[in-house]
Amino acid sequence: MSGAKMVDLSKVLIEESALARVPGRLARRYGLLPVALKGDTLTIVQADPDDPIGVMDLEGRLGVRIETLAASRPEAVSRAIARYYAGEAGEEAPTALVALERLVNRAIQIHCSDIHLDPEEGVGVARMRVDGMMRIVSEFPTSFMADLVSAVKVAARLDIAERRAPQDGQIVMDSLGESIAMRVAVIPTTHGEKVTLRILATAAVAEELDRLDALGMNTQHYKMIHSALEQAHGVLLLSGPTGSGKTTTLYAALRHLREPGTRHILTIENPVEIPLQGVNQIQIDGERVTFAKALRSVLRHDPDIIMVGEVRDAETADIAVKSALTGHLVLATLHANTSVSVITRLLNLGVSRELAASTLRLVVAQRLVRRPCPHCVTHETATEALCEEFGWNPDVPPRLPRVCGCAFCGQLGYAGRLGLYEMTPVDRELRDLIVSGAGEDRMADLAFAKRKWPTLAQDGAVKAAAGLTTPEEVRRVTFLGEGER
């Protein structure tokens, strides 16, 4: 019986360099899929790891060492071979639509959030964003790139003849047996049209992140947000840059709030990313129906809880906080860098200090950091310099994860993400500071020096010491060491 390690092929990142090394006819003949190539070692997944003939043939033909993994579902290997080797020499060349389907299939398999089709001089490049980082996955001739863009436009019901103006749309297609929805944006560049496809959360991802306690919050932060959500009225604001997980946190909060089934929940979104049973979701178009118009109308429908996808103008901010005054719990996002700067941003939108102080319940800043791949991670003791930088005790330095790279993570060393959080409850003393006109520094001193609530960087330091992420990731998203706080 083979001692090959058993893997779920759907969770293995398939490298283009490995696929290119093994001809499709050999992959089909021996029922094996190349997944990673590192130096002179080729990693393959086999349907039948007890058959050594294919391994011996490949080692002889290619002059590489073969590392074998066994598929937990043997039938997945043949399906993956058919998908990844479609359109090889000797077969009918793939159409642009087939190429698009293959890109989407791969994006789903590697948990990609965005697909970018970028025109460059003499070539078209397909890039994917995985765990927040971009990676090149394919290159196409310029002529085929134009066909691929046209295929996207047709699928999204856009005007294929319009090449000089931006266009937006949506595609719903089947991928690996699941219905996948994607937001599509097309914009002209100097080398042709660029396409970005944002993959909206699948049912599997939504189910995985359906609870607040699955997002990576520590006990203190979980209690803070849980307490804010139990309020009968008030405003809870989440902040962070694009792609920092704000929407995911909001959806988790809505799932928590809908559970008793006794509250009327309405959301205003652009677009609606995940359908939520038991929640009335309204999609705005940004032109005829704005956030402010929809919010004003929603108040006539007697909601208990309102979620606003983004507070981006003075009118929306004013209606949102006044809704909280009239007995509604309002959840919303707003762009700011820190939790305390959320308050300043709200005031800059024209909300009075008295109104902000009386309605705000909790302000949150968050970021996403990558988790080390559990299959290849190693650990090393923190240096004295790192202990000083991150505030760890140098006499008891933590064991920190060190990323390596393997077939499971596409040689990146990371797989999956978790949140870093900075939460500031708006209590009586902070309300007094807001009303008195105190600046951000005084509010931050109260929150982080006096109250000892953890900053983003401090939350990251704790999670790095616990092995949940790396110091490099914490630095990347919190600017630790550059004097932020």
The CA–CA distances, whole Å, from 280 to 177, 272, 290, 298, 304 equal: 28, 11, 17, 10, 12
Residue 485 has pLDDT above 60, yes or no: no
Closest-CA residue to 458 (of 429, 409, 417, 420) = 420
More confident of the two residues 111 and 392? 392
> Which tokens belong to 249?
């946190």
Over residues 206-226, the pLDDT tens digits come to 545 567 888 889 999 999 999
Segment 295-307 mean pLDDT: 94
Q: Evaluate if residue 289 carries a pLDDT over 90.
A: no
- Distance, CA of 3 to CA of 287 (rounded, Å): 61
- Long-range contacts of 98-104, Cβ-Cβ distance < 8 Å, separation of 24 or more: 99/140, 99/144, 99/148, 99/151, 100/148, 100/151, 100/152, 100/155, 101/173, 101/175, 103/137, 103/138, 104/173, 104/175, 104/180, 104/182, 104/197, 104/199
Tens of pLDDT, residue by residue over 418-427, are 999 999 999 9
Q: What is the dihedral of CA 234, 246, 291, 350, to 10 degrees?
A: 60
How many Cβ atoms are within 10 Å of 121's Cβ, its own excluded?
Answer: 8
CA distances from 318 to 235, 312, 352 (A): 12, 11, 9
Nearest CA to 42 out of 19, 75, 72 is that of 19
pLDDT for residue 464: 97
- Start-to-end CA distance of the chain, whole Å, equals 57
pLDDT at residue 89, as a whole number: 46
pLDDT number for residue 202: 55
CATH (one of 3.40.50.620, 3.40.50.300, 3.40.1110.10, 3.40.390.10) for 204-478: 3.40.50.300
Q: Which of 258, 260, 269, 257 is nearest to 231 (CA)?
A: 257
Helices (H), 63-115: 75-84, 96-109
pLDDT attached to residue 420:
96
pLDDT of residue 21: 87
- β-pairing, 167-175 with 32-38? unpaired
DSSP state, residue 15 = P
Query: Taking 90 as the threshold, does the pLDDT of residue 343 lie above it?
Result: yes
DSSP state of 450: I
* Domain spans, the chain: 5-84, 96-199, 204-478
Beta bridge partners of residue 38, listed in sequence order:
41
Q: According to the model, what pLDDT value does residue 164 have?
A: 92
149 vs 162: CA distance, rounded Å: 12
Distance of CA 243 to the CA centre of its chain: 6
Residues sharing a CB contact under 8 Å with residue 309, sequence separation 6 or more, in sequence order:
247, 267, 268, 269, 270, 291, 332, 333
Residue 91 has pLDDT above 70, yes or no: no
* Amino acid 90: pLDDT: 45
Average pLDDT over residues 286-295: 83
The domain covering 5-84 belongs, at the CATH homologous superfamily level, to Type II secretion system, protein E, N-terminal domain (3.30.300.160)
SS3 226: helix
> In this predicted structure, what is the pLDDT of residue 88?
54
- Select the more confidently predicted residue: 213 or 320: 320
175-to-73, 103, 130, 275 alpha-carbon distances in Å: 18, 10, 18, 19
pLDDT higher than threshold 70 for residue 480: no
The DSSP annotation for 361-404 comes to EEEEEEEEEEEEPTTT-EEEEPPHHHHHHHT--TTSPPEEEE--
Domains 5-84 and 96-199 fall in the same CATH topology:
no
pLDDT, average across residues 193-202? 86
* pTM as predicted: 0.79
pLDDT confidence of residue 209: 54
Q: What percent of the chain has pLDDT over 90?
A: 56
Give the pLDDT mean for 172-181: 76
Here the tokens at position 2 are 């083979």
User: Would you state the torsion angle of the CA atoms of residues 335, 338, 341, 346, taken in this order, to the nearest 10 degrees?
Assistant: 30
Could you give the 3-state DSSP secondary structure of residue 139?
A: strand
DSSP letter assigned to residue 480: T
Q: Is 192 helix (H, G, I), strand (E, B) or coil?
A: strand
For residues 25 and 206, the model is more confident at 25
Residues 188, 81: Cα–Cα separation, whole Å: 35
Cα gap 193→146, rounded to integer Å: 8
**Which tens digit of pLDDT belongs to each residue from 130-173?**
888 888 888 889 999 999 999 999 999 999 999 999 999 989 88
pLDDT class of 284 with cuts at 50, 70, 90: confident
Mean pLDDT to the nearest integer, 463-475: 96
Quick check: 1 pLDDT over 50? no
In this predicted structure, what is the pLDDT of residue 481?
45
- Pairwise pLDDT comparison (462 vs 93), residue with the higher score: 462
Residue 104: what residue type? V
Architecture of domain 96-199: 2-Layer Sandwich (3.30)
What's the pLDDT tens digit per position in 428-454? Answer: 999 999 999 999 999 999 999 999 999
Average pLDDT over residues 20-40: 87
